[in-house]
Amino acid sequence: MFGFRGGESPAVLSRQKSAMHSAQLKWPFLTNFDCSTIKDERQLSAMVQTRMSVSEETARDDVHQWFKQQPAA
């Protein structure tokens, strides 16, 4: 999701960087390292749940709403 594997096109890199910045604005506790380890919406939800001490459902809903607002891939 945010992790860079190498060989991505400039457009993909730009989209990933933009999504990572957006996520860090929403959840300021996300470090660049955190983001580099997050591969999908489920992993982001788990990190939000843990760091914010909220229920799984609350974190999942929050992340899902954020994800829907991101530009299409």
23: alpha, beta or left? (left if phi > 0; alpha if psi -120 to 50)? alpha
* DSSP structure class, residue 71: P
73 residues of the chain, pLDDT tens digit each? 776 677 888 888 888 889 999 999 999 999 999 998 998 999 999 999 999 999 999 999 999 999 999 887 5
DSSP state letters, 6-71: S---HHHHHHHHHHHHHHHHHSTT--HHHHHH--SHHHHHHHHHHHHT--HHHHHHHHHHHHHTSP
pTM: 0.86
